[in-house]
Amino acid sequence: MTHDRRVSLPDSELGWRFSRSSGAGGQHVNTTDTRVELIWSLDDTAALSPAQKELAASRLATRLVDGTITVVSSQYRSQHRNREAARVRLEELLTQAVIPPRPRRATKPTRGSKERRLDAKKRRSSIKQGRGGHGWE
């Protein structure tokens, strides 16, 4: 299921760090900081409700370090495009994390599945019965 409304984060909550990208690029790459790190604090945000924060914290637990998430982008040669890419990636990550879980609908096993289970039990039982300790007399 795709979610239409992406989480939007205010600029004041975003922290940026810039460094030089790795890889090829000639003289330009040695002088400009095009690699972007976007740092965002889940604990301090006002963009999410308390319920959304709790859901995001549990789903993003492996990415959280001291309550903050860091997204890195160095795919483009311009800092501006990397900033946009990092922001979009963070917002999509959060959008997926705050989608409420669908409630589980209880179902009953089908007649066929019950019969298959019982047949398997009977087959297993007959295999074990055939192993009886007949040879120890």
Residue-wise pLDDT for 2-48, tens only, equals 445 777 777 777 878 777 766 666 666 556 677 888 888 887 777 78
- Block residue for tokens 């298959």: 116
Q: Return the closest-CA partner of residue 91 out of 74, 71, 107, 105.
A: 71
CA distance 34 to 23: 12
Task: Give the CATH number of domain 11-97.
Answer: 3.30.160.20
Q: Residue 35 contacts by C-beta under 8 Å, 6 or more apart in sequence?
A: 18, 19, 20, 21, 22, 72, 73, 74, 82
What's the pLDDT score for residue 127?
Answer: 92
The upper half-sphere exposure of residue 129, i.e. CA atoms within 13 Å in the direction of its Cβ, equals 6
Reported as a single tens digit per residue, the pLDDT across 100-116 is 888 999 999 999 999 99
What's the pLDDT score for residue 60?
Answer: 84
What's the pLDDT score for residue 13?
Answer: 76
User: Hey, which residues does 36 pair with through a beta bridge?
Assistant: 18, 73
- Give yes or no for a contact between 62 and 54, defined as CB atoms under 8 angstroms apart: no
Amino acid identity of residue 28, one-letter, is H
